[in-house]
Amino acid sequence: MEEALLIERVVEEVWKRLQERQRRALVLFTGGTIGVEDALSSLAILQEQGWSFTAVVTPGAERALGTERIAGALPGATILTEENGWPPGPLLREHRLILVPVLTVNSAAKVAVGIADNLVTTLILEGLLMGKPVLAARDACQIDHPVRTRLGMDRGQPALREQLAKNLEKLAAYGIHLLPAGELASAAEELVSFPGRFWGKKEAASRVFTGKVLSRSQVAAWQGREIIVARDTVITPLARELAVERGLKIRSQ
Domain limits, the chain: 2-193, 206-252
pLDDT of 201 reads 41
pLDDT at 227: 86
Predicted pLDDT of residue 215: 82
109-158 confidence digits (pLDDT tens)? 999 999 999 999 999 999 999 989 999 999 999 888 888 888 888 788 88
Tens of pLDDT, residue by residue over 223-247, are: 677 888 887 888 888 888 888 887 8
What lies within 8 Å, CB to CB, of 168 at 6+ separation is 108, 112, 138, 141, 142, 178
Length of the chain: 253
pLDDT by 10-residue block (mean), the chain, 253 residues? 48 41 85 93 93 94 92 92 88 92 95 95 95 93 86 86 90 92 90 57 54 77 78 84 85 80
Residue 1, pLDDT score: 52
Q: What was the pLDDT predicted at 2? A: 58
Nearest to residue 141, comparing CAs of 110, 175, 183? 110
DSSP sequence for 39-85: HHHHHHHHHHTT-EEEEEE-HHHHHHT-HHHHHHHSTT-EEE-TTT-
The values of phi and psi at residue 242, to 5°, are -70, -35
CATH of domain 2-193: 3.40.50.1950
Is 124 in contact with 28 (CB distance < 8 Å)?
yes
